[in-house]
Amino acid sequence: MDVEIIELGRDRLPEVVELCRLSFDLPEDAAEASDVVVTVSERAAADRPVLRLGAVRDGALVGVLVGSLSAADPRLGHVDLVAVAPTERRQGVGGALLTEAESRLGALGAAEVLLAGNPPHYAWPGIDVRYTPAVCAAQRLGYRQDRTAWNMTAELTEGSSALRSTGSAEQRLAGRGVTVRRADSDDLPALAAFARSTFGGTWDGELAGSVGRPDAGVHLAERDGEILGFAAYGSARPSWFGPMGTAPAAEGSGIGGVLLRRCLRDQAAAGIAAAQIGWVGPVPFYSNAAGARIERVFFLYRKAIKGS
C-alpha cells in the first residue's frame, strides 16, 4: 500500500476538517465536522496526551486518526476519531492508521486501546453501527465489542413536546424555594464540586466545556444557595445535550424536566432542528420529558496491546 502514515501538525487541521466533512456519511456528523475535530484534537489536548495521525498519498491527506490517553487512567488509550476519504475505503488505510495508533499509544504506556469516547472531550460514545466499514475494520483487527451505547433524538421543531413551556413548573418550584436559572462562570466551581461529589466521573469537565462557550450553556436549580441539579448542552458538539443530573433528594420534583427543556429551547433558538441526547441512561425520563426517541446506537470496542 503506497500510503505513508505521518504525525499531523496543527497547521494541517483545516485539511483534517475538510476530510472529515467529506468522509462522515451521516449528515449530522458532517455538519459538525469542525466542532468534532476541535473537540477531540484541540480542546482535549489541554488535559491529556493527544495523537494526530494522517495517511498521505502523493502529498494528499486521504485518512486521519485522532487518539488520546485517558486522563483518568493512562493505561487506557482511546481512538477518538477515524476518517478515510470515500474513494480510499477498503484499501487498508483505516487499518494502517489503527495499527500505527496502537503502536504509538502503547509507547506512551497504554495497555489497552478503546474504540470509545474519552470524556470529557469526545465526539461519539463509540462507533455508530451505520458506519459499517469501521465496524468491519475493528473486528478484523481483533477488537472485541464489550458495550453498547445509544443516543436519543429530541425534535426541536415548532410544536414539539421538547419545547413546551416550563413556566408553570418553574412557578411550582419557586413555591418550594427552588430557583432555576442559567449558570455563569461564577457558578462553575460549585457546579463542578456538586457533579464530582454526587456523580463522580468526568461531568465536571463537561460542565467546564459548556459554561460560557459559544453554542453551549448550563442551567441549574438551587435552593438557599445549594445546587439541586444541572443540565448542560454543547460541551461535545452544538447539537448534543448533556450531561444532566439531579441530587438524589430532589429526584421526582420536576427539576430535571425543567432543566432539560430550558436547554433544548436554547438549542432550538440557535437553529438546531434536532438535539442528540448523548450516551443516554434513563430512557423513559427523556421519552416522557421531551418526546425523545432512541435513534443512534454505538458499539464500543477494546483490545489489549503490548507497549513498545
CATH of the domain at 170: 3.40.630.30
Residue 113 counted as domain residue: yes
H or E segment to which residue 204 belongs: helix 203-208
**CA dihedral sign, ordered 200, 205, 208, 214:** negative
Pair 162, 186 in one domain:
yes
> 280 in a domain, yes or no?
no
Same domain, 123 and 195: no
State residue 211's pLDDT score. Answer: 96
CB 44 within 8 A of CB 50: yes
Question: Do residue 41 and residue 126 come from a single domain?
Answer: yes
* Boundaries of domain holding 13: 4-149+298-304
Query: Is residue 111 included in any domain, yes or no?
Result: yes
Whether 285 maps to a domain, the answer reads no
Query: What is the spatial distance between Cα 23 and Cα 30, in angstroms, rounded to a whole number?
Result: 8
Total of domains in the chain:
2
Say if residue 142 is in the same domain as residue 178.
Answer: no
**144 & 165 share domain:** no
116: in domain: yes
Q: Is 170 found in the same domain as 55? A: no
284 within some domain = no
| Backbone conformation region of residue 137, classed left if phi is above 0, alpha if psi is from -120 to 50, else beta | alpha
**Are residues 189 and 266 located together in one domain of the fold?**
yes
What are the Cα distances from residue 250, in Å, to 196, 219, 253, 260? 17, 16, 6, 15
Whether 63 and 138 map to the same domain: the answer is yes
Looking at the structure, tell me whether residues 207 and 174 fall in a common domain: yes
**Using CA atoms, how far apart are residues 251 and 262, in angstroms rounded to an integer?**
18
Longest dimension (CA), the chain: 69
pLDDT at residue number 263: 98
Position 90 scores a pLDDT of 85
Note down pLDDT in tens along the chain; length 308 residues.
688 999 999 999 999 999 999 999 999 999 999 999 999 999 999 989 999 999 999 889 999 999 999 988 999 999 999 999 999 888 889 999 999 999 999 999 999 999 999 999 999 999 999 998 889 889 999 999 999 999 999 999 999 999 999 999 999 999 999 999 999 999 999 999 999 999 988 899 999 999 999 999 999 999 999 999 999 999 999 999 999 999 998 888 999 999 999 999 999 999 999 999 999 989 999 999 999 999 999 999 999 997 54
Main-chain phi, psi angles of 99, to 5 degrees: -65, -40
Q: Chain centroid to CA 77: how far?
A: 17
Establish if 279 belongs to a structural domain.
no
Domain assignment of residue 24, yes or no: yes
What was the pLDDT predicted at 307?
Answer: 54
